């Protein structure tokens, strides 16, 4: 149960750090707007989540395996996030462009 909790913390921490990036093109929602406005606070909180997750892995699996998992899992999450978020964003833009425009006849 503890490794699952740690993995969730890791994903949440990386996602917060990803959304604070100025180069990341993510669709604007309320949460993402707030994350970008509270930049330094969000970066500190995301980094703290990553560190807590890393230390939970080390405590649960030991120094060698915990350190390895603590390095491999964030790299995997980072690669998947950087790969799939722009694809999802692009698909949503295409779907919005295909929607029929309804004009009011006033």
Whether the pTM exceeds 0.75: the reply is no
What's the pLDDT score for residue 68? 92
Whether residue 41 contacts residue 74, with contact meaning beta carbons closer than 8 Å, is answered with no
What's the pLDDT score for residue 49? 93
Check whether 24 has a pLDDT greater than 90. no
Measured distance CA(6)–CA(78) in Å, rounded: 16
Nearest to 30 by CA among 17, 46, 19: 19
Question: So where are the chain's domains?
Answer: 2-98
Residue with structure tokens 């503890």? 2
| 44-80 pLDDT per residue, tens | 998 999 999 999 999 999 999 998 998 898 899 889 8
């Amino acid at each position: 149960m503890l490794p699952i909790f740690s993995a969730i913390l890791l994903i949440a921490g990386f996602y917060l750090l990803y959304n604070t990036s100025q180069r990341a093109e993510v669709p604007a929602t309320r949460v993402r707007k707030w994350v970008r406005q509270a930049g330094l606070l969000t970066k500190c909180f995301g980094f703290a989540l990553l560190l807590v997750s890393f230390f939970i892995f080390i405590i649960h699996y030991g120094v060698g395996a915990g350190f390895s998992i603590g390095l491999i899992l964030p790299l995997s999450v980072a690669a998947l996030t950087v790969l799939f978020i722009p694809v999802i964003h692009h698909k949503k833009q295409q779907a919005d462009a295909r929607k029929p425009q309804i004009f009011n006849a006033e």
